[in-house]
């Protein structure tokens, strides 16, 4: 399926984007957990399946999707969910965890669903249940959640700054989103929660741990698309941050990322990385 066919499948009116996550600088040091066995390298598609060269000078996005090139990672021994702030995958290996936040734009959520379906890309979504996109695309996403290809995590119900709300409001935001995820996808999102805007402190961390979220999930690198970005900027940030054991944040809020999805897949393959979900790496069953 080439880019034009892919975009045709996804053609729909673009929803008005709501407030998006704002990146906060974070240390790149990962928490002290034991390293898992390095994931096996994914099969490489045939040369004919990928473009031999990609020019970012004019249109960085005219890259055909290569078909189903990713599968479940092999050889990973899951480790306990860490306590504290999670910013990268533990240990040594060639894994990459691409995490996608918010979902204010139904077209972009649908594009990510199609990307995962077509290529086998493993994704972790940090969902705000208030956004209708997650209900609209549940028929596409839920089978991938059930198979383990997609992991649904908690990003609160409506994206407030946790530091600025009361403890009672924080609990309501978390539990309401859990209820939504359970009713829509059959999961709760535990044990991973990403605080909106990356805003958290000792009080919120302690309360989240009591609610079943010991790992406040941040990121090592970003696609920079919490707000609208030119597609070439997204490509450049993917080139910069797609590296072994990285935890990368993106957003399902603005259409430009749709145009670089083929390129995103190519960069992952080009660098020999293995896409994983957070549940592939960490033992989530013991905390569910």
What CATH number does the domain containing 159 carry? 3.20.20.370
Residue 44 within any structural domain of the chain: no
Q: How confident is the model at residue 65, as a pLDDT?
A: 85
Q: How confident is the model at residue 3, as a pLDDT?
A: 52
Residue 34 within any structural domain of the chain: no
Q: Give the domain range for residue 131.
A: 3-10+81-287
Q: How confident is the model at residue 52, as a pLDDT?
A: 28
- The whole-angstrom separation of Cα 69 and Cα 46 is 10
The confidence band for 43, taking pLDDT boundaries of 50, 70 and 90, is: very low
Q: Which contacts qualify for 70-73: CB closer than 8 Å, 24 or more apart?
A: 70/42, 70/119, 70/120, 70/121, 70/122, 70/268, 70/274, 70/275, 71/42, 71/43, 71/120, 72/122, 72/148, 72/149, 72/280, 73/39, 73/40, 73/42, 73/122, 73/274, 73/275, 73/276, 73/280
Average pLDDT over every residue of 229-244: 96
The confidence band for 270, taking pLDDT boundaries of 50, 70 and 90, is: very high
Average model confidence (pLDDT) across the chain: 83
| pTM given for the model | 0.81
Q: How confident is the model at residue 285, as a pLDDT?
A: 82
Residue 154 within any structural domain of the chain: yes
The confidence band for 14, taking pLDDT boundaries of 50, 70 and 90, is: very low
Residue 176 within any structural domain of the chain: yes
Residue 162 within any structural domain of the chain: yes
Average pLDDT over every residue of 79-108: 96
Residue 64 within any structural domain of the chain: no
More confident residue, 50 or 131: 131
Residue 155 within any structural domain of the chain: yes
Average pLDDT over every residue of 153-158: 98
The confidence band for 287, taking pLDDT boundaries of 50, 70 and 90, is: low
Residue 62 within any structural domain of the chain: no
Is 108 a residue whose pLDDT tops 50?
A: yes
Is 135 a residue whose pLDDT tops 60?
A: yes
Q: How confident is the model at residue 13, as a pLDDT?
A: 36
Tokens of 120: 């086998």
Is 15 a residue whose pLDDT tops 60?
A: no
Domain count, the chain: 1
Tokens of 46: 């045939």
Helices and strands in the chain: count of H runs, count of E runs: 10, 9
């Amino acid at each position: 399926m080439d880019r034009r066919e892919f975009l045709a499948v996804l053609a729909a009116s673009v929803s008005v984007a709501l407030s998006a996550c704002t990146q906060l600088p974070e240390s790149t040091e990962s928490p002290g957990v034991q390293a898992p066995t390095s994931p096996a390298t994914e099969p490489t598609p045939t040369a004919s399946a990928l473009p031999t060269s990609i020019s970012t000078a004019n249109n960085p996005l005219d890259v055909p999707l290569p078909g189903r090139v990713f599968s479940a990672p092999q050889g990973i021994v899951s480790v306990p969910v860490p306590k504290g702030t999670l910013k990268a995958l533990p240990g040594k290996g060639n894994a990459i965890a691409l995490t996608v936040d918010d979902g204010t734009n139904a077209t972009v959520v649908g594009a990510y669903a199609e990307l995962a379906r077509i290529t086998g890309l493993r994704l972790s979504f940090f969902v705000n249940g208030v956004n209708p996109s997650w209900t609209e695309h549940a028929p596409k996403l839920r089978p991938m959640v059930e198979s383990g290809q997609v992991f649904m995590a908690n990003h609160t119900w409506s994206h407030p700054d946790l530091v600025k709300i009361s403890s009672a409001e924080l609990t309501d935001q978390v539990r309401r989103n859990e209820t939504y995820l359970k009713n829509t996808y059959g999961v709760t999102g535990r044990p991973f929660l990403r605080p909106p805007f990356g805003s958290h402190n000792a009080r919120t961390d302690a309360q989240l741990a009591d609610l079943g979220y010991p790992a406040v999930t941040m990121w090592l690198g970003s696609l920079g698309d919490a707000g609208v970005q030119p597609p070439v900027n997204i490509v450049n940030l993917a080139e910069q941050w797609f590296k072994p054991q990285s935890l990368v944040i993106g957003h399902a809020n603005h259409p430009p990322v749709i145009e670089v999805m083929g390129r995103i897949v190519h960069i992952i393959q080009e660098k020999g990385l293995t896409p994983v979900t957070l549940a592939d790496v960490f033992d989530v069953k013991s905390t569910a």
